[in-house]
Amino acid sequence: MQGLEPIGEGLWSLRRVNRISRWPVHMSSHMTVVRVGGSDLLLHSPVPLAPADIDALLQLGRVRFIVAPNLYHYKFVAQARAAFPAAEVWAAPGLVALHPELQGSRELADDHPLVPAELSQRLVLGHAAHETAFFHSVSRTLILTDLAYNVGREAGLFETVFYWAHGAYRRRRVPRYHQRLITDRARFVAAFEALLRWDFDQLCVAHGTVLRTGGKAALREMWRFVLAA
Ligand SMILES: [Fe+2]
């Protein structure tokens, strides 16, 4: 089992495969770990953590923030919170109302950035995910969750079929169902254009692998059907 992968200065990625039903059906996702404030850590979109993962994180620093960045990536927040009880939990707007077990977490808000000196953040309005995007300036990385995909040969059988069926396997596309998730195209495009003004090259995604370079062009391509409409 591969552990934390360094992907930049003060930045790591951790991929874990989760069983998503009582049938042997698996999907993978990534957590991004950001060093903040010198020796603290922010866990973005937690994945299920094995004891070795928790040890590795403890070696890196003190977990200060746990972030559920959109309405869909919250399932392993409780486990991360139990492992790092001193951490503040920050959740996408509306998430706590949907999942009361996340009581005690605070809502992500653009006017209350978590670590303004190191991470810019912006809520992407007009999309049902209510996702907050993060920009890590030191490594020129845009950290997204379900607003970008890079699914390739690392995918398991179910994932391969799933993303292939939705037009996003080994292609610069978001799965087709995102067309139905856009609730306000104008707001979405405005928010998205703001993300594209950040000076990033690397792109972190929840599903697939990190795009180490060329992330901006890839992201534009993924959403071309909306941006150019
Ligand atoms: Fe996802």
For residue 177, report the distance from its CA to the centre of ligand 1, in Å: 12
For residue 73, report the distance from its CA to the centre of ligand 1, in Å: 6
Tokens for 192, please give them: 């998205």
The CATH-assigned architecture of domain 5-227 is 4-Layer Sandwich (3.60)
- In percent, how much of the chain has pLDDT > 70? 100
Helix (H, G, I), strand (E, B) or coil at 174: coil
pLDDT at 20 over 90: no
For residue 43, report the distance from its CA to the centre of ligand 1, in Å: 16
The neighbourhood of ligand 1, an ion, using CB within 5 A, equals 146, 206
Rounded (10°) angle between helices 215-222 and 185-196: 170
For residue 70, report the distance from its CA to the centre of ligand 1, in Å: 9
For residue 145, report the distance from its CA to the centre of ligand 1, in Å: 6
User: What are the structural domain ranges in the chain?
Assistant: 5-227
* Residues 34-51: tens digit of each pLDDT: 999 999 999 999 999 999
pTM for this prediction: 0.96
* Distance of alpha carbon 206 from alpha carbon 199, whole angstroms: 20
For residue 146, report the distance from its CA to the centre of ligand 1, in Å: 5
For position 6, what pLDDT does the model report?
Answer: 97
